[in-house]
Amino acid sequence: MTLFNQLDKNELKELLVKCWMTHDGSWFYNSVKELGIDVANKLNKGAIRNLSVLEVQRIKKAMGMESLKITKFDQLKQFIDDAFSILKGDFMRFNYTFLEEGHIHWEMNKCFAFEGMKMIGVKENYECGVIFRVCCWLDALGIKYEVEPKIKKCLLYSQEICSGDIVVNLE
């Protein structure tokens, strides 16, 4: 019997997400070494922007809603829950909640990306890719939104807390 047949769904997901994030971190690390943090941030955001369009298409297809345009907050909640159910590893340790209509709240007391940036010595100049990815999903879905607080550099570094809201406008 192969390992594939031995692992349950969650074990398989955790292994694949960890491998993907290790690749992502290794790519970022090598970009920083070769090109510097500013170029690495720019390339990272470009890759996230490109990836998010494909992620949205693939997730919508897997959900059986390829042609559905998300126009209701409940539909968006379902999409986000379904996306994170397969793309978020347990080690990522962030929480998100849907507060009132149109508000997505996130909190990260310990961020896997920030921990990686500390390890490679660029935490003070890292531009958050985690929340940026969710924002790119919204862009790909054609949903207008605002992020509060505005994020440029990592919030765990600049404010010692990573918490905020994405306020969506589905009208």
Secondary structure (H, E, C), 109-167: CCCHHHHHHHHHCCCCCCECCHHHHHHHHHHHHCCEEEEECCCCECHHHHCCCEEEEEE
pLDDT at residue 46, rounded to an integer = 97
The confidence band for 110, taking pLDDT boundaries of 50, 70 and 90, is: confident
Q: What is the pLDDT of residue 156?
A: 87
Architecture of the 3-169 domain: 2-Layer Sandwich (3.30)
Distant-in-sequence, close-in-space partners of 113: CB < 8 Å, separation ≥ 6: 25, 126, 128, 129, 130, 154
Q: What angle do CA 98, 12, 106 make, to 5 degrees?
A: 20
Residue (of 109, 158, 113, 157) closest to 131 by Cα position: 113
Q: Is the pLDDT of residue 160 over 90?
A: no
Whole-structure pTM value: 0.91
